[in-house]
Amino acid sequence: MLAVISHADCLNHDAGPLHPECRERLDAIDNQLIMSGLDFVIRRYDAPIADRAALARVHDPDYIARVYAMAPTEGSVEIDGDTVMSPGTLAAAERAAGAGVMGVELIMKGEACPVFCEVRPPGHHAERDKAMGFCLFDNIAVAAAHAMDVYGFERVAIVDFDVHHGNGTEEIFKDDPRVLFCSSFQHPFYPFTGHDSDTPNLVDVPLSAGSDGPAFRAAISEHWLPALHRFRPQFLFISAGFDAHALDDMSSLSLTEHDYAWITRELHAIAVEHCEGRVLSMLEGGYDLSALARSVVSHLKELI
């Protein structure tokens, strides 16, 4: 059964008025899940708080301490031009990271599979000792590290189809041969990384502005899919960002929910062949509310 992990605390992170990373993103997804009928065939779980030991698998302990020290009790703290902490942010970030840990546990105990973590703030830009791009903790990295360190997986794949390169995840795992990281992203575009990577366990697919579904599918088919089959992952993690949608004004790519359904179908087939079906998907970007909600539903339908 498909598990959806979230928590009310994820609604309380307030990045400020007009900030695209808003609580309405989760509200839109929930409404679309109900309208699609999927809400009746999923099992919902409340995300726990990630403990510091889980965070420290991928983040520097001094950095973690700084994040906790910066958390405001009133007002807000601006970490950079994009990344803001409000009084509700730390709890939301702890829950977002904790969702990934819980998801791994649910899958490994046979209680649910696949798992979708419907959380915010997102995580894939957070580096080992740096917050950026709306992200405090790298949620998908925390989940993958938990799977490797607790359950001994030797081959874990993380795929990231957000419109922005997952620089944090790449920086954390670039020298870890247990991890294959595949990322597609608009280039040149924030955070202006990834296009020149040459580490053997990284498969970066930069897409020029204006790229559409056929271009995306061709690039994934040429680069990601062969690499994933060669790697034969034992667990598949997805950084599911939906901001490359044609209606999302955060980007200049032109994907649709049909493209997200296609890539999910391809990834699910790989998980069935190599991972005994083990898939955990983590929400990253997606800021046009209607496009985001429809894309998530398309993604989940293919996962189940």
Residue 189 phi, psi dihedral angles, 5° rounding: -170, 160
> In the annotation, is 125 catalytic?
yes
The residue annotated as part of the active site, out of 7, 13, 125, 165, is 125
Residues annotated as part of the active site: 125
